[in-house]
């Protein structure tokens, strides 16, 4: 069965420090991977995706993610965190189990950036 895991419920980082939000996946085919961000009482916003090609994917707001096939991971990174990056982050993977458009979401990681 397809699945995606975000092992950390919360990540705390000081402003200006690099941040990493972890995601691992399990799929039966080629992984299509996505990161979304959610601010309080808002919908999810797309950050970036990996479909194929370069393992380092650059996205919105200075975020990037590294696809690692051997470790089945797709960690979200940013070189220098901002207080405004504080939000809930979701990793998602395309579901190969039926409807090919459907995404499977992780449980979310709350990023808290301290000033």
- Smallest CA-to-CA distance from 91 within 50, 55, 58, 61 is with 50
Instruction: Establish if 1 lies at the interface with other proteins (CB under 8 A).
Output: no
Per DSSP, 60 falls in state G
User: Which DSSP category does 84 fall into?
Assistant: G
Looking at 1, 41, 53, 70, which residue binds other proteins (CB under 8 A)? Answer: 41
Size of the site for other proteins (CB under 8 A): 23
Task: Decide if residue 49 touches other proteins (CB under 8 A).
Answer: yes
CB of 7 to other proteins, least distance (A): 13
Give the separation between CA 33 and CA 95, rounded to whole angstroms: 10
Residue 77 has phi, psi (to 5 degrees) of -140, 155
Q: Which residues of the chain form contacts with other proteins (CB under 8 A)?
A: 32, 34, 36, 41-46, 49, 51, 90, 92, 94, 99-103, 105-108
């Amino acid at each position: 069965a397809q699945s995606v895991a975000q092992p950390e419920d919360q990540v705390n980082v000081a402003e200006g420090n690099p941040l990493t939000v972890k995601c691992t996946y399990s799929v039966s085919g080629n992984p299509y991977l996505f990161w979304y961000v959610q601010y309080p009482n808002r919908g999810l916003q797309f950050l970036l995706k990996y479909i194929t090609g370069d393992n380092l994917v650059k996205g919105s707001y200075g975020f990037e993610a590294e696809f690692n096939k051997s470790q089945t991971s797709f960690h979200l990174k940013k070189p220098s965190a901002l207080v405004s990056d504080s939000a809930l982050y979701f990793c998602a993977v395309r579901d190969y189990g039926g409807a090919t458009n459907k995404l499977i979401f992780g449980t979310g990681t709350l990023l808290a950036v301290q000033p």
